[in-house]
């Protein structure tokens, strides 16, 4: 990923998406905000006992760093569902929703994470985008595949045209899961080397990056169009919040994408 610092805000961008001048996109880090203590410093979540003033100021700073207005950012209320919202204006409210799609310029669709996998999609032909929150529950429900189907239906997207980025999230060397989850993933993904067994244990390490990449490929996106950040939120405490590492006492990151308005 490409690192950019603007107004003290440290942002990350996918190299493949950055080649397209028709879209703005980002994944945030925890660097550059006003939150304090264990939420230091760019917390973007309203549900982690931060002051509303801090979160609002952090969002304002983030918007300024990516050259948009805070009012252009649309976040759903995430519930680890496979529900997908179609954003047609910046004033819509999306409850119980974990992915957003749009083809409307000027709407920055965003999702929040703190270990779960953020996925950004861009169809440069039909000018359509998606932002997806895919933790293990979303991955099991194949939310990214469902999102692509919505893009096909609503915008005429052809999966082979989509450019995809799988963002910072908990990595395959540290994401320890139990036997029930191992069984689910082995069944759904045909034992496709997603689990690394832990010696003398029923547990294993789960590779959410590889699982989501497999779903995107099965959905018709060419492998060469998919970029994985390879950045682990759990292992990089100076850059990222991590619910697993910090036992849920942590902030929230954000990832988003927007089709630029014509000037």
Strand order in the sheet with 23-28: 2-6, 9-13, 23-28, 253-259, 108-113, 73-74
pTM of the model: 0.98
Residue 190, pLDDT score: 82
Using DSSP bridges, classify how beta strands 163-166 and 9-13 pair: parallel, antiparallel or unpaired.
Answer: unpaired
Q: What is the mean pLDDT of residues 25-29?
A: 98
Task: Identify the band that residue 100 occupies on the pLDDT scale cut at 50, 70 and 90.
Answer: very high
**Which string of b and e fits 160-185 if b means at least 16 CB within 10 Å?**
ebbbbbbbbbbbbebbbbeeebbeeb
Q: State whether CATH 3.40.50.720 applies to domain 2-171+223-259.
A: no
- For the cut 70, the answer to whether the pLDDT of residue 50 exceeds it is yes
- For the cut 70, the answer to whether the pLDDT of residue 262 exceeds it is yes
Q: What is the mean pLDDT of residues 120-126?
A: 98
Number of neighbours of residue 231 by Cβ within 10 angstroms: 18
Q: What is the mean pLDDT of residues 150-179?
A: 98
Task: Identify the band that residue 244 occupies on the pLDDT scale cut at 50, 70 and 90.
Answer: very high
- For the cut 70, the answer to whether the pLDDT of residue 263 exceeds it is no
Q: What is the mean pLDDT of the chain?
A: 97
d(CA 130, CA 111): 10
d(CA 35, CA 230): 26
Distances (CA, A) of 141 to 164, 239, 246, 262: 19, 29, 26, 36
Task: Identify the band that residue 193 occupies on the pLDDT scale cut at 50, 70 and 90.
Answer: confident
* DSSP H or E segment with residue 259: strand 253-259
pLDDT digits (tens, 9 = 90+) for 101-113: 999 999 999 999 9
- For the cut 80, the answer to whether the pLDDT of residue 192 exceeds it is no
Task: Identify the band that residue 73 occupies on the pLDDT scale cut at 50, 70 and 90.
Answer: very high
């Amino acid at each position: 990923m490409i690192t950019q610092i603007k107004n003290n805000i440290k942002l990350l961008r996918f190299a493949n998406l950055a080649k397209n001048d028709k879209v703005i996109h980002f994944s945030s880090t925890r660097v550059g905000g006003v939150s304090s203590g264990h939420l230091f410093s760019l917390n973007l979540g309203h549900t982690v006992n931060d002051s509303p003033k801090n979160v609002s100021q952090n969002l304002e700073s983030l918007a300024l760093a990516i050259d948009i207005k805070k009012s252009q950012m649309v976040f759903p209320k995430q519930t680890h569902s496979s529900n997908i919202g179609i954003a047609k204006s910046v004033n819509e409210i999306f409850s119980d929703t974990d992915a957003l799609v749009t083809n409307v310029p000027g709407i920055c669709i965003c999702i929040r994470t703190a270990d779960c996998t953020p996925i950004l999609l861009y169809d440069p032909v039909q000018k359509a985008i998606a932002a997806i929150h895919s933790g293990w529950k979303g991955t099991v429900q194949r939310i990214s595949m469902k999102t692509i189907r919505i893009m096909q239906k609503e915008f005429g997207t052809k999966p082979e045209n989509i450019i995809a980025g799988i963002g910072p999230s908990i990595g395959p060397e540290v994401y320890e899961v139990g036997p029930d989850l191992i069984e689910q993933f082995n069944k759904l993904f045909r034992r496709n080397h997603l689990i690394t067994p832990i010696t003398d244990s029923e547990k294993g390490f789960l590779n959410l990056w590889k699982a989501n990449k497999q779903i995107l490929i099965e959905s018709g996106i060419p492998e060469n169009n998919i970029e994985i950040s390879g950045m682990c939120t759990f292992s990089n405490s100076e850059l990222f919040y991590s619910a697993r590492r910090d036992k849920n006492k942590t902030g929230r990151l954000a990832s988003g994408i927007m089709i630029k308005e014509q000037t």
